[in-house]
Copies of this chain bind each other. A is one copy, B any other.
Amino acid sequence: MRTQSLRILISSARKFVNMGALSRLWNLMKNFHAADISSLMNHLVFREKRILFNVLFEKDKEKTGEVLSELDSEDAAQILKELQLEQISELFQIIPPDDVAPILDLLPDDMKESILAAMEEKPSEDVKELLLYEEETAGRIMSPDFYALDQKTNVSDAITAMQLEADVESAFYLYAIDEQNRLVGVVSLRQLLFAPPNTPLKNIMTKDVISVHPETDQEQVARNVADYNFVAIPVVDSEDKLIGVVTVDDVIDVIDKEATEDIYKMASLDTTDRIQDSPLKSMKKRLPFLMFSLLTASLAPFVVHYFEDTIKAFVTLAVFMPLVAALGGIAGNQTIAIVVREIAIGQADWISARKALLKEMLVGIGNGIIIGLILATISYLLMKNPYLGFILGLAIIANLFVAALLGTIIPLFLKLLRLDPALGSVNLLTMCTDTIGLLSFLGLGTLFLSKLI
């Protein structure tokens, strides 16, 4: 939806909510897609959200379910906590199990049990099965509803059989299985539409189906779907039996989420921090990162402290300290961002590490020399002190070299330790560039102090 129309929708919805004009609110809502209503809800305060949600629930359960599916799990859980048990289980039977699982997971344990018990058997079992798998795996985001028929079925029987099944909303493929229920092929609905009615599926199916396991990391699933241009990917168990399908809309959510997470982690943010969160909530989420930063940033003062006498003797050194630190930080960030991102999209790993390291080191030295020379020249022209220019230039070269070296090593090393390459790497790097940058600058300053004064 365009910003313009969203703006109008928000202000009208707000007005109706606050006037208590609930039937006018519903008249406004009913023409909008569930995705639009969920965008709208992101702009409302909790009280307004709850009122709007209640109106939707009263008027159209189907649509309410769709809106719930589109909301952030945290938001959805917060709203549901205010509802009756029966109302929740009613909604959870409408929305797909892979959308239920993450919301349910955020509800209190006793509430969880009661909701599952209150739901009908089939949806309840489906949700329980998804919850068996760890978070952020294929098992958690797969849909247990799909079309699967024996490979010997012919096209017209297949179509009849599919029609008799419950509607599978986002089905684009029919999966072919053998007598042991193993996945052996896939037929697109387009192929099915155009094939002669008496053709057996095995004659038109694509063999060598690319599938994932329920334990596969959701990022890996997303990469597969993105690389192979699929709209869905089957999930099979250890015996090759088809147990679910991950659809492209869930893959897009994963890709969006992972990209946001990378950006947030690199910027020292909790991945659940949102602009709509209350100030107190965001404060709490950001404080641990600031404390960690306070820790990593506390190393540089010791270096400077060590050189207090030098600075006292030639205080101009203090003037250029922020510049040395800032340039090292920026150059290091460049390398970290490229390495973290290429790790995320699967282009960087220890296979290519040696090559990447060599390259980044060359880039660091090369740009270090250029920036160092420029800075040396400018500072010479301004301060008329050739030695100051010389040590400043040399410190920048050293700092940019270290920034490139550690900017490559830190995220790859974190990845090797099975830690998140994006998390904390900027802090660690800044700690190193600040320290080593100031160490080389002030160290050279001490060495050449007699020439500087």
B228 near A35: Cβ-Cβ < 8 Å? yes
Q: Is A267 in the interface zone, CB < 8 Å from B?
A: yes
Kindly provide the distance from the CB of A267 to the nearest chain B CB, expressed in whole angstroms: 3
A334 near B275: Cβ-Cβ < 8 Å? no
CA separation between A231 and B250, bound complex, in Å?
11
CA separation between A333 and B282, bound complex, in Å?
14
Q: Is A116 in the interface zone, CB < 8 Å from B?
A: no
A264 near B375: Cβ-Cβ < 8 Å? no
Known: A193-B189, A359-B275, A434-B326. A304 touches B318 (CB 8 A): yes
Kindly provide the distance from the CB of A183 to the nearest chain B CB, expressed in whole angstroms: 17
CA separation between A374 and B225, bound complex, in Å?
48
CA separation between A336 and B268, bound complex, in Å?
11
Question: Which residues of B are found within 8 Å of A323, using beta-carbon distances?
Answer: 294, 297-298, 300-301
Q: Is A252 in the interface zone, CB < 8 Å from B?
A: yes
Q: Is A266 in the interface zone, CB < 8 Å from B?
A: yes
Question: Which residues of B are found within 8 Å of A336, using beta-carbon distances?
Answer: 267
Report A14-73 residues with CB < 8 Å from chain B CB.
33, 35-36, 39, 42-43, 70
A33 near B210: Cβ-Cβ < 8 Å? yes
B227 near A263: Cβ-Cβ < 8 Å? no
Closest to A304 in B: B319
Question: Which residues of B are found within 8 Å of A280, using beta-carbon distances?
Answer: 366
Closest to A343 in B: B275
Q: DSSP majority for the A interface?
A: helix
Kindly provide the distance from the CB of A199 to the nearest chain B CB, expressed in whole angstroms: 14
CA separation between A336 and B331, bound complex, in Å?
19
Question: Which residues of B are found within 8 Å of A229, using beta-carbon distances?
Answer: 35, 170, 249
A337 near B192: Cβ-Cβ < 8 Å? no
Q: Interface digits, A161-177 against B, CB 8 Å rule (1 contact, 0 not)?
A: 01100001011100000
A300 near B322: Cβ-Cβ < 8 Å? yes
CA separation between A35 and B230, bound complex, in Å?
11
B163 near A194: Cβ-Cβ < 8 Å? yes
A228 near B33: Cβ-Cβ < 8 Å? yes
CA separation between A352 and B6, bound complex, in Å?
12
Q: Is A80 in the interface zone, CB < 8 Å from B?
A: no
Report A426-444 residues with CB < 8 Å from chain B CB.
426-427, 430, 434, 438
Closest to A35 in B: B227
Question: Which residues of B are found within 8 Å of A132, using beta-carbon distances?
Answer: none
Known: A159-B193, A334-B289, A367-B287. A226 touches B210 (CB 8 A): no
Kindly provide the distance from the CB of A6 to the nearest chain B CB, expressed in whole angstroms: 8
CA separation between A3 and B224, bound complex, in Å?
12
CA separation between A248 and B305, bound complex, in Å?
57
Question: Which residues of B are found within 8 Å of A260, using beta-carbon distances?
Answer: 259, 341, 345
Q: Is A342 in the interface zone, CB < 8 Å from B?
A: yes
Question: Which residues of B are found within 8 Å of A172, using beta-carbon distances?
Answer: 172, 189-190, 231
Closest to A361 in B: B279
Question: Which residues of B are found within 8 Å of A255, using beta-carbon distances?
Answer: 252, 255-256, 259
Kindly provide the distance from the CB of A320 to the nearest chain B CB, expressed in whole angstroms: 6
Known: A231-B248, A300-B326. A351 touches B290 (CB 8 A): no
Question: Which residues of B are found within 8 Å of A194, using beta-carbon distances?
Answer: 159, 162-163
B293 near A326: Cβ-Cβ < 8 Å? yes
Kindly provide the distance from the CB of A3 to the nearest chain B CB, expressed in whole angstroms: 6
Question: Which residues of B are found within 8 Å of A283, using beta-carbon distances?
Answer: 362-363, 366-367
Q: Is A418 in the interface zone, CB < 8 Å from B?
A: no
Measuring CB to CB, which residues of chain A are less than 8 angstroms from any residue of chain B?
1, 3, 6-7, 10, 33, 35-36, 39, 42-43, 70, 159, 162-163, 168, 170-172, 189-190, 192-194, 210, 225-229, 231, 248-249, 251-253, 255-256, 259-260, 262-264, 266-269, 273-280, 282-283, 286-287, 289-291, 293-294, 297-298, 300-301, 304-305, 308, 311-312, 315-316, 318-323, 325-327, 329-331, 333-334, 336-342, 345-349, 351-352, 356, 359, 362-363, 366-367, 370-371, 374-375, 426-427, 430, 434, 438
6 contacts between A and B (CB under 8 A): A255-B255, A267-B334, A290-B331, A290-B371, A304-B319, A311-B315
